[in-house]
């Protein structure tokens, strides 16, 4: 198996195949019981601008100095091989290898002054995906897990779905919120077959019926189970417990019967042209599925494109594969959401765990560098056609309006209508602030 980064993590670019860490072997009714026990939805907030988030994760640490924040005037050995290209917003330029995104710059905010101090893949991923710097005493939940806990989700769909195998062990997981708010992990073949026009074969473990098992069979088994329950209820004085179990059982059956998630993953319902525009690989079809999941009411979806740990031949990798792949799929996701009237209430957040060194190394690569990086936000109440902050002349550090990962997380949750300083109890009852050091970046809010 090929390695995707220098710390020994194996490539899981698009999908996590096999047993879901989110379900941990639990049956669906058991998971629903946990969710109910942990439930504490955030109060309605009139400032809410967005309902859902799609996080586009660039695993490995992208060289944003060659993507969103080029330095053409810097000395040789720093400025790189790429030319800045004009976008459809005067004064904003990005890499020449992302021409499609250049046509949609009027829909995005580029944060060029993002930085932190953790140049290691696992802890940096945890920081970026939770909005809290890792500390030994608390395992902070991923932003998707917070959405699972704090936002109402329509019946019949999971709150948090992930296509990504985030490094670091705890990244992307529910932390102190408990198992009930872990992500539902996608399984299956995400790549479409261009020759047969077949779309991706995707499903979420635990919330769909086994192949060949019909709803009629489910009903028959349910009827038999009810007969057993009725018999045991006569012998058991704990009627309240039995009634509670019945409620969760009915909810589980409703999810299975609703078929909403299965329909969201049925990409054959999309036009062939749309599937091709997203890209007939795992990343492209995963992004299309993410859009459909959000349409169905899922609150947070993570998709991932790996391979950005470019310690060598960085310009070759960026020019031939990485940037063209991202350019194709991210631009289509944003434009598709916009055309459907969904971008105004869906946040798209594109980032990686850190940036790369401004100085090119002897292997024509760039190494880990967390002190300057960039991220892209679109939709969901963020400004469009906007650049926040800047780095110095050589891209070494922020020069204007520096922000940290927790500031971006706080801003995302502000737009979701959730107070970033809201306190929620840990398992032992200790109140913990959502983003302990995060501050909303008012200048990027529309």
> CATH number, domain at 115?
3.40.720.10
Q: What pLDDT digit, counting tens, does each position of 134-193 carry?
A: 999 999 999 999 999 999 988 878 889 898 656 555 566 889 998 878 888 886 666 776
243 or 278: which leads in pLDDT: 278
The confidence score (pLDDT) of residue 254 equals 53
Q: Using pLDDT thresholds of 50, 70 and 90, give the confidence band for residue 212.
A: low
Whether residue 383 contacts residue 415, with contact meaning beta carbons closer than 8 Å, is answered with no
* Residue 442 DSSP class: G
Q: Is residue 16 part of a domain?
A: no
Mean pLDDT of 97-102: 98
CB atoms within 10 A of CB 284: 26
Q: Using pLDDT thresholds of 50, 70 and 90, give the confidence band for residue 39.
A: low
The confidence score (pLDDT) of residue 348 equals 98
Q: Is residue 19 part of a domain?
A: no
Whether residue 369 contacts residue 82, with contact meaning beta carbons closer than 8 Å, is answered with no
Mean pLDDT of 254-269: 76
The confidence score (pLDDT) of residue 132 equals 97
The confidence score (pLDDT) of residue 171 equals 61
Whether residue 59 contacts residue 306, with contact meaning beta carbons closer than 8 Å, is answered with yes
Q: Where are the alpha helices (DSSP H) in 141-279?
A: 143-150, 215-235, 239-258, 260-264, 272-278
The confidence score (pLDDT) of residue 124 equals 96
What is the pLDDT of the chain when averaged over all its residues?
83
The confidence score (pLDDT) of residue 8 equals 60
Rounded Cα distance between 149 and 321, Å, is: 37
The confidence score (pLDDT) of residue 163 equals 86
Q: Is residue 279 part of a domain?
A: yes
Q: Is residue 130 part of a domain?
A: yes
Q: What pLDDT digit, counting tens, does each position of 321-332 carry?
A: 999 999 999 999
Question: Under 8 Å CB-to-CB from 284, ≥6 apart: which residues?
Answer: 275, 278, 325, 328, 329, 332
Mean pLDDT of 69-86: 97
Rounded Cα distance between 152 and 144, Å, is: 13
Q: Which helix (H) or strand (E) holds 347?
A: strand 346-351
- 97, pLDDT greater than 60: yes
CB atoms within 10 A of CB 343: 21
Q: What pLDDT digit, counting tens, does each position of 357-416 carry?
A: 999 999 999 999 999 999 999 999 999 999 999 999 999 999 999 999 999 999 999 999
Mean pLDDT of 245-268: 64
Q: Is residue 217 part of a domain?
A: no
Q: Which helix (H) or strand (E) holds 324?
A: helix 323-339
Rounded Cα distance between 63 and 355, Å, is: 5
Q: Is residue 223 part of a domain?
A: no
The confidence score (pLDDT) of residue 219 equals 53
Q: What pLDDT digit, counting tens, does each position of 317-361 carry?
A: 999 999 999 999 999 999 999 999 999 999 999 999 999 999 999
Radius of gyration of the chain (CA): 22
Q: Which helix (H) or strand (E) holds 337?
A: helix 323-339
Q: Using pLDDT thresholds of 50, 70 and 90, give the confidence band for residue 217.
A: low
Q: Give this prediction's pTM.
A: 0.84
Q: Is residue 97 part of a domain?
A: yes
**Residue 237 backbone dihedrals phi, psi, to 5 degrees:** -85, -10
Q: Which two tokens stand for residue 185?
A: 């992990």
- 245, pLDDT greater than 60: no
Mean pLDDT of 225-243: 45
- What SS3 state is found at 10? strand
Q: Is residue 237 part of a domain?
A: no
Counted domains in the chain? 1
Percentage of the chain surpassing pLDDT 90?
A: 62
Whether residue 294 contacts residue 333, with contact meaning beta carbons closer than 8 Å, is answered with no
Q: Using pLDDT thresholds of 50, 70 and 90, give the confidence band for residue 197.
A: low
Q: Which domain holds residue 343?
A: 28-208+260-444
The confidence score (pLDDT) of residue 371 equals 98
Q: Using pLDDT thresholds of 50, 70 and 90, give the confidence band for residue 38.
A: low
């Amino acid at each position: 198996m090929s390695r995707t980064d220098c710390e020994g993590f194996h490539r899981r670019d698009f999908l996590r195949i096999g047993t879901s860490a989110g379900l941990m072997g639990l049956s669906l009714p058991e998971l629903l019981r946990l969710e109910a026990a942990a439930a504490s939805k955030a109060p309605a907030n009139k400032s809410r601008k967005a309902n859902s988030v799609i996080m586009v994760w660039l695993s490995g640490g992208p060289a944003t100095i060659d993507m969103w924040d080029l330095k053409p005037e810097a000395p040789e050995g720093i400025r790189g091989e790429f030319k800045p290209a004009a976008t459809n917003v005067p004064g904003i330029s990005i890499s020449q290898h992302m021409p499609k995104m250049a046509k949609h710059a009027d829909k995005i905010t580029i944060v060029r002054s993002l930085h932190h101090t953790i140049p290691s893949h696992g802890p940096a991923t945890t920081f970026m995906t939770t909005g809290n710097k890792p500390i030994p005493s608390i395992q902070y939940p991923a932003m998707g897990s917070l959405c699972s806990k704090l936002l109402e989700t329509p019946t019949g769909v999971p709150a948090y779905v992930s296509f990504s195998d985030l490094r670091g062990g705890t990244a992307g997981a529910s932390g102190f919120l408990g198992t009930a708010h872990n992500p539902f992990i996608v399984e299956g073949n995400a790549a479409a077959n261009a020759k047969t026009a077949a779309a991706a074969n995707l499903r979420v473990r635990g919330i769909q019926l086994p192949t060949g098992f019909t709803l009629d069979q489910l009903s028959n088994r349910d009827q038999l189970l009810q007969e057993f329950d009725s018999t045991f209820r006569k012998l058991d004085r704990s009627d309240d417990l039995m009634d509670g179990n019945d409620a969760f059982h009915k909810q589980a059956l409703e999810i299975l019967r609703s078929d909403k998630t299965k329909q969201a993953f049925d990409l054959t319902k999309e036009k062939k042209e749309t599937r091709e525009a997203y890209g007939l690989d795992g990343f492209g079809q995963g992004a299309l599925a993410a859009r459909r999941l959000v349409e169905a009411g899922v609150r947070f979806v993570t998709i991932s494109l790996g391979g950005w740990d470019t310690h060598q031949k960085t310009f070759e990798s960026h020019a031939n594969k990485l940037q063209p792949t991202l350019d194709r799929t991210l631009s289509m996701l944003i434009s598709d959401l916009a055309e459907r009237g969904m971008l105004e209430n869906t946040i798209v957040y594109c980032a990686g765990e850190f940036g790369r060194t401004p100085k090119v190394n002897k292997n024509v690569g760039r190494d880990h560098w967390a002190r300057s990086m960039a991220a892209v936000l679109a939709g969901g109440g963020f400004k469009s056609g906007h650049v926040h902050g800047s780095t110095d002349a050589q891209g070494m550090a922020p020069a204007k309006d520096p922000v940290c990962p927790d500031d971006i997380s706080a801003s995302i949750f502000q737009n979701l209508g959730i107070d970033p300083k809201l306190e929620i109890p840990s398992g032992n009852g200790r109140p913990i602030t959502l983003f302990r050091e995060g501050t909303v970046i008012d200048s990027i809010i529309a």
